[in-house]
């Protein structure tokens, strides 16, 4: 039904994001959360979208003039903004656009005590077409069907998420470098929580003052090849965002 309804030429999977020093516990709570990294202009990631819901904020990826890709747990009465770097940039120039959401039919995360983020992916259909200029607003290039980034590939994550755990979302767009991590290494950490729809990535440094990761408010934002800017994943969930051994999950797009 998902494919027939949307006629999408892509399959939607999941991506896990880990720091080099892995840590996971069934007792840890999950959250949708960039820590470290640097402030950037939207021109560096013109396919990035900002999503506001009734309860929080998320990121998204511009899939077409009318569709935004994001995490399924982000789509509750959504409004979308694109083309800006600072959240206080003119809403008259960069207005919110209302949209309706289409969640992956296999997504099921109703038990908060035992959260399930498999198939955590959705599309937002905008009620108004985007004006794509290629500079501040652009359609994302996606990793192709049957294609995947090699282990160790330098990637970038971006968003307006919190700069520290339990902090509010950042007013400025940020980006951080991470790298692709071997799936089997990741599987040893996540065990049953890691599904075939997930792939791992993580920070370049295990030093607590150097590591860079996503944080609260970054969910649904892009994980992309730094060189080609092809998007491979969307931020899905994490355990902790400003500790020395965090772990995160993304939705993979191939």
Please report the domains of the chain, with CATH numbers, ordered by start residue.
42-252 (2.40.10.120)
165-209, pLDDT tens digit by residue? 665 667 889 898 888 888 888 777 777 777 778 777 776 555 443
Locate the DSSP E strands across 182-228. Answer: 200-203, 222-225
Instruction: State how far the Cα of 222 lies from the Cα of 13, in Å rounded to an integer.
Output: 14
What angle is formed at CA 42 by the lines to CA 206 and CA 39, rounded to 5 degrees?
A: 35
Instruction: State how far the Cα of 109 lies from the Cα of 118, in Å rounded to an integer.
Output: 8
What size, in residues, is the chain?
254
pLDDT at 245 over 60: no
Q: Is 221 helix (H, G, I), strand (E, B) or coil?
A: coil
Residues classed as catalytic: 73, 120, 219
Q: Which of 8, 15, 72, 11 shows the shortest CA–CA distance to 252?
A: 15
The average pLDDT across 16-41 equals 50
Give me the percent of the chain exceeding a pLDDT of 90.
30
Distance, C-alpha 71 to centroid of its chain: 7
Instruction: State how far the Cα of 16 lies from the Cα of 242, in Å rounded to an integer.
Output: 17
User: For residue 147, what pLDDT is reported?
Assistant: 83
Rg (CA), the chain: 16
Instruction: State how far the Cα of 157 lies from the Cα of 233, in Å rounded to an integer.
Output: 9
pLDDT at 230 over 90: yes
């Amino acid at each position: 039904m998902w494919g027939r309804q949307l006629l999408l030429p892509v399959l939607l999977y999941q991506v896990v994001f880990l720091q080099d020093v892995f840590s996971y516990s069934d007792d840890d709570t999950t959250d949708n959360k960039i820590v470290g990294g640097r402030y950037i202009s939207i021109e560096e990631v013109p396919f990035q979208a900002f999503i506001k819901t009734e309860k929080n904020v998320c990121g998204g990826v511009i899939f077409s003039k009318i569709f935004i890709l994001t995490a399924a747990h982000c789509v509750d009465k959504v409004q979308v903004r694109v083309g800006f770097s600072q959240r206080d940039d003119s809403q008259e120039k960069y207005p919110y656009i209302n949209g309706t959401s289409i969640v992956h039919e296999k997504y099921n995360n109703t038990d908060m005590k035992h959260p399930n983020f498999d198939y955590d992916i959705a599309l937002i259909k905008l009620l108004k077409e985007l004006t794509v200029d290629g500079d501040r607003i652009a359609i994302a290039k996606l990793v192709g069907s049957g294609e995947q980034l090699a282990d160790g590939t330098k990637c970038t994550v971006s968003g307006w998420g919190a700069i520290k755990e339990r902090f509010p979302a950042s007013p400025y767009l940020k980006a951080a470098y991470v790298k692709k991590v071997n799936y089997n290494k990741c599987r040893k950490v996540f065990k049953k929580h890691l599904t075939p729809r997930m792939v791992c990535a993580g920070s370049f440094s295990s030093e607590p003052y150097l590591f860079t990761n996503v944080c609260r408010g970054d969910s649904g934002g892009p994980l992309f090849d730094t060189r080609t800017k092809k998007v491979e994943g969307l931020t899905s969930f994490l355990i902790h965002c400003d500790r020395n051994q965090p772990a995160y999950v993304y939705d993979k797009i191939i």
